[in-house]
Amino acid sequence: MQKNLITLSIAALLFVAGCQSKPKSSDVTMTDSTTSPTTEAGALDTTAITYKLNDPAAYDGEVDGKKVALYVLKDGDATVTISNFGARIVHLIVPDKTGKPTDVSLGFASLADYRKAKESFFGPVVGRYGNRIAKGQFTLDGKPYQLELNNNGNSLHSGPSGFHNHAWDAKKIDNKTVEMTYVSKDGEGGFPGTVTTKVTFTLSNNELKLDYVATTDKATPYNPTSHGFFNLNGEGSGTINNHTLQIQADRYSAVDKGLIPQGEPVSVTNTPFDFRQPTVIGQRVDEQNEQLANGGGYDHNWVLNKKDNSLTEAAVVTGDESGIKMTVLTTEPAIQFYGGNFFAGGDVGKYGRAIGKREGLALECQHYPDSPNHPTYPNTILRPGQTYKQTTIYRFGK
Q: Using the Cα atoms of residue 7, residue 11, residue 17 and residue 18 in order, give the sign of their dihedral.
A: positive
83/214 Cα distance (integer angstroms): 20
191-216 CB burial, b ≥16 within 10 A, e <16 = bbbbbebbbbbbbeebbbbbbbebbb
243 is a catalytic site residue: no
- Residue 76, number of CB atoms within 10 A of its CB: 11
226/6 Cα distance (integer angstroms): 65
210/42 Cα distance (integer angstroms): 39
H/E run at residue 14 = helix 2-21
236/351 Cα distance (integer angstroms): 7
396/398 Cα distance (integer angstroms): 7
**Burial environment of residue 22 by CB neighbours within 10 A (0 to 12, 13 to 18, 19 or more):** exposed
| Region class of 353: left (phi > 0), else alpha (psi between -120 and 50), else beta | beta
- The letter for the amino acid at 357 is K
What are the Cα distances from residue 291, in Å, to 81, 131, 288?
36, 17, 9
Please answer whether residues 92 and 86 qualify as being in contact, where contact means their C-beta atoms are separated by less than 8 angstroms.
no
Name the residue among 278, 327, 268, 269 with its Cα closest to residue 302.
268
Catalytic residue among 179, 188, 359, 364: 364
364 is a catalytic site residue: yes
CA angle 252/255/259 to nearest 5° reads 120
Catalytic residue among 91, 166, 227, 367: 227
Name the residue among 360, 367, 301 with its Cα closest to residue 330.
367
- List active site positions: 227, 364
